[in-house]
Amino acid sequence: MPFEVQATCGRARAGVLSTPHGPVETPAFIPVGTRGSVRGILPAQLLDAGARILLANAYHLFLRPGDQVVRDLGGLHGFTGWKGPWLTDSGGFQVFSLGELVKVVEEGVHFKSPIDGSAHFLTPEDSIRIQEDLGADIIMAFDECVRQPATAEQTRAAVDRTIRWARRCRDAHRKDGQLLFGIVQGGTDASERERCARPLLELDFPGYAVGGLSVGEDREAMLQTLDFTEALLPRGRPRYFMGLGKPEDLLDAIRRGIDMFDCVIGTRNGRHGTVFTSEGPLHLRNKRFERDRGPLDPLCGCPACRGFSRAYLSHLYKAEEMLGPILGSLHNTWHLVGLVRRAREQILDGTFR
């Protein structure tokens, strides 16, 4: 298998995942480039921040510019300029987030494009084909995600469909070297999580994701669910928590043996004036920063912290200058990638707490 656990510290793990476009050292935070671009940040700047793998979304790229366009222009690696590993989400979460624009049937999902209102039908097999066209190193099975709170009946139906669709995705996948991960659903119900995990483990995916969390449940329920879900997953496969990005949540998940994470929160918050620091979050639109000469974070070496003051960043946001969101997004990416990298270093030397 392409994944090696190099060290453990409690339940926390440090490992290496091999992909066709280079290794991914874990734990790893994956910046989100939904449409093939991490907003406002150049590929070279992402490398400087320590990012080694990016995420794109199959649903969005299918709608625009089209997966076949990306395929014909060299896949994500040739199309975007990012030469390192790519991971693509199947689009399941985005489709099910469309609410009234979606109709789910056993064969797949009918939905209308939020871009132009055009009608589409997406099956698990389509999702795999699209992700193969995009050429990602890691792709995800097409699943059904339900937002919390959900009824027992809704959760049970979503688990049943996720299992059936996972088998179809496994059968449809043909691309050599591309790693297809299964997704464990089940809401916050331990029995449903176990019922979902067992048949997925029989399918022998090279990696497993924890899906359907951080979608509306409270933090305590999320961590409790993560505890019993992690225990179901095989030791020798990478574990991926989809959509997790708050600094304290990342550390709690690493403590519980999770290896990979992605979230838009860093760049989204950065665009709106909230930055993560070693002293906690700063809301730069607040008046108290108007004359603050200090850097965003004295412990950070990113371009925003090396060259600009909090006062200047505060001014940029209030004046709606585009440099503010760019620097805020860049700083948050440095912070999240660096936080997880430092956790890895501490796991390797046995000092992670």
| 180-209 pLDDT tens trace | 999 999 999 999 999 999 999 999 999 999
Residue 85 lies in domain:
3-263
pLDDT digits (tens, 9 = 90+) for 89-98: 998 888 778 8
Confidence band of 215 (pLDDT split at 50, 70, 90): confident
Q: In terms of Cα–Cα distance, which of 170, 156, 207, 193 is closest to 28?
A: 207
What pLDDT score was predicted for residue 323? 98
Other C-beta atoms lying within 10 Å of the C-beta of residue 156: 17
pLDDT at 91: 86
- The CA-CA-CA angle for residues 157, 189, 122, to 5°, reads 35
Nearest to 46 by CA among 90, 73, 83, 101: 83
Same domain (yes/no): 51, 94: yes
pLDDT at 146: 81
- d(Cα 276, Cα 268) in Å, to the nearest integer? 12
What was the pLDDT predicted at 96?
75
- pLDDT (mean) for 275-291: 97
Q: Looking at the structure, tell me whether residues 29 and 156 fall in a common domain.
A: yes
Check whether residue 250 and residue 285 sit in a common domain. no
Q: Are residues 297 and 158 in the same domain?
A: no
Q: Which among 126, 133, 143, 262 is annotated as catalytic?
A: 262
The model's pLDDT over 285-342, given as tens digits with 9 standing for 90+, comes to: 999 999 999 999 999 999 999 999 999 999 999 999 999 999 999 999 999 999 999 9
The pLDDT of residue 100 is above 80 = no
| Close Cβ partners of 48 (under 8 Å, ≥ 6 residues apart) | none
**Do 218 and 312 share a domain, yes or no?**
no
Mean pLDDT of all residues belonging to the chain: 96
- Of the pLDDT bands very low, low, confident and very high (cuts 50, 70, 90), residue 101 is confident
CATH number at residue 90: 3.20.20.105
**60 lies in a domain?**
yes
Do 232 and 312 fall within a single domain?
A: no
pLDDT of 29 above 90: yes
Q: What is the pTM of this model?
A: 0.97
Distance, in Å, from the CA atom of 238 to the CA atom of 2, rounded to the nearest integer, reads 9
Cis peptide before 65 (omega within 30 of 0): yes
Q: Answer yes or no: do 248 and 278 share one domain.
A: no
Amino acid found at 134: L
At 1, the pLDDT band (50, 70, 90 cuts) reads confident
Choose the catalytic residue: 67, 89, 126, 133.
Answer: 89
Question: Do residues 33 and 168 both lie within one domain?
Answer: yes
pLDDT for 247: 97
> Helix, strand, or coil here: 9?
strand
- Same domain? 215 vs 252: yes
In the numeric block, the tokens 């699943």 are attached to 143
pLDDT tens, position by position, 116-141 = 999 999 999 999 999 999 999 999 99
Active site residue 89: yes
**Where residue 102 falls among pLDDT bands split at 50, 70, 90?**
confident
pLDDT at 147: 76
Q: What is the pLDDT of residues 37-62, one digit of tens each?
A: 999 999 999 999 999 999 999 999 99
Q: In the annotation, is 262 catalytic? A: yes
For the chain, the domain total comes to 2
> Which amino acid type is present at position 142?
F
If you average pLDDT over residues 267-289, what whole number do you get? 98
One domain for residues 73 and 18:
yes
Same domain, 8 and 81: yes
Percentage of the chain lying above the pLDDT 70 cut? 100
144-166 pLDDT, tens digit each: 988 778 899 999 999 999 999 99
Indicate if 47 and 195 belong to the same structural domain.
yes
Using DSSP, state whether 86 is helix, strand or coil.
Answer: strand
Q: How far is CA 125 from the centre of its chain?
A: 22
Q: Residue 347: inside a domain, yes or no?
A: no
